Amino acid sequence: MLGYGELLAFERMAADARFAPDLHRRAVLSEMAALEITNYRRLADRLSSLGADPEAAMTPYVEPLRAYHDRTQPRDWLEALTKAYVGDSVADDFFREVAAFLGEPDRELVLEVLHDSRYGEFAAKEIRSAIELDPKLANRLSMWARRLIGEGLSQAQRVAADRPALAMLLVTGSGDQQGVQALLKRLTQAHGARMSAAGLNN
Amino acid sequence: MLGYGELLAFERMAADARFAPDLHRRAVLSEMAALEITNYRRLADRLSSLGADPEAAMTPYVEPLRAYHDRTQPRDWLEALTKAYVGDSVADDFFREVAAFLGEPDRELVLEVLHDSRYGEFAAKEIRSAIELDPKLANRLSMWARRLIGEGLSQAQRVAADRPALAMLLVTGSGDQQGVQALLKRLTQAHGARMSAAGLNN
């Protein structure tokens, strides 16, 4: 799921770079994208070394991830950046939590491929500056971020329903239903903190 | 020119990856693309360290490179691969020749960012296998390769006309008009050898 997510994030971010207002910003989003493909390769190689066919292993996630991206196509630079910042970060937090339930070397591998925070800081700064120049943007981008989270959750539920083993990993890893609640609370809090850091409101 | 070429090649190859018949091939073209953006960054950083604004330095090449890509939009996977293989390789050979006329550290930098041959081998093998399965393809892809070269040359002439300093670098670097002829001959021969290696004809 993480592997196919990286591949798709690569393609979408590479395409979204066209919205950048200048060459520097276009290159930064392209670099964020390029990082994903390196991660894809590491995950695909690990799947192969476990004797799995990466393509077959990723197939169940093709449709939900495609649906998420199709329903959250940015219309401009700030929406593209907010998507990379808000959407990818929630996903990263989720994968980081799940990684804790894995044995080595998978735990380490997942943690390593999760996003480099330096791009998150770039995105937060860009969004914040844009809102300072035009405070009305805060509202539009906050709504957009809520839509990203809503679509993300909806696809996540679909994955959980289709892949009980993944849902079980979450429950057994967290200990119990309360553990899952605590995990979701941590995700929500981190998301809220990121929204504030970028000048957005929940 | 090389820097902006890398950025644009990144975007086009990332988009062309959608033509791939399977996940493995899609990932390989995406990885070829990702390599370009790393190179873009190295070249942009070098421009900055020379006191130039990378965006301003690249502006003269935006239009000819955009025109080249707009006129050579692949319609399927094999056209995309042939474009990455044939078009990028001729451009690389050209930049490698020009690099010989530069002082250090620029010569080394340009040579380093030029493409990794392992992807060229992947592309040649893919094209060759496809032709073995369907010999009629050789004709269509050879025509496509000729069109790529034709469009590339036409934009190169435009750049040379607009940027006499670049054209002069070529002449003074080669020694004289005969030197330029010899350089062009080397490019043509290397291109011919690549076409044969992929089962294409000039």
Neighbours of A57 (CB within 10 A): 18
In whole angstroms, what is the distance from residue B188 CA to residue B127 CA?
20
Give yes or no for residue A47 having a pLDDT over 90.
yes
B26 at A interface, C-beta within 8 A? yes
Confidence class for position B106, pLDDT limits 50, 70, 90: very high
Place of tokens 């474009």: B83
Q: What is the pLDDT of residues B50-99, one digit of tens each?
A: 999 999 999 989 999 989 999 999 999 999 999 988 888 888 888 888 88
Mean pLDDT of chain A: 88
pLDDT, residue B179, reads: 82
CB-CB under 8 Å, B33 with A14: yes
- pLDDT(A119) > 80: no
A37: left (phi over 0), alpha (psi -120 to 50) or beta: alpha
* Any A CB within 8 A of B140 CB: no
Q: Which residue of chain B comes nearest to A55, CA vs CA?
A: B23
The complex scores an ipTM of 0.72
Whether the pLDDT of residue B193 is over 80: the answer is yes
CB contact under 8 A, B23 and A7: yes
pLDDT at B116 over 80: no
> What mean pLDDT is predicted for residues B167-192?
84
Residue B115, pLDDT above cutoff 70: no
Predicted confidence band of residue B187 (pLDDT cuts 50, 70, 90): confident
Instruction: Supply the DSSP symbol for A18.
Output: G
Nearest to A17 among B11, B23, B54 (CB): B11
Nearest one of B29, B31, B23, B20 to A60, comparing CA atoms: B23
Classify the C-alpha dihedral B81-B86-B91-B92 as positive or negative. positive
Those of residues 57-96 in A touching chain B at CB distance below 8 A are 58
CA separation for the pair B159, B97 (Å, rounded): 17
Count of positions (residues) in chain B: 202
DSSP state of B156: H
* In chain A, % of residues over pLDDT 90: 36
Cβ separation A23–B40 shorter than 8 A: no
What is the mean pLDDT of the segment spanning A47-68? 92
Task: List the single residue in B11, B30, B37 with the smallest CB-CB distance to A31.
Answer: B37
- Span B38-54, pLDDT tens digits: 889 999 999 999 999 99
Mean pLDDT (whole number) for B11-18:
87
Q: Specify the range with the lowest mean pLDDT, choosing from A74-88, A114-128, B59-73, B182-196.
A: A114-128
pTM (two decimals): 0.78
Tell whether A8 lies on the interface with B, counting CB pairs under 8 A: no
Residues of chain A neighbouring B44 (CB-CB closer than 8 A): 27
B3 shares contact with chain A (CB less than 8 Å)? no
Q: What is the mean pLDDT of residues A123-142?
A: 93
How far is CA A73 from each of CA A12, B140, B189, B198, rounded to the nearest angstrom? 9, 35, 45, 38
Q: How confident is the model at residue A136 (pLDDT cuts 50, 70, 90)?
A: very high
Subunit contact A24:B54, Cβ cutoff 8 A: yes
pLDDT at B183: 84
A18 touches chain B (CB under 8 A): yes
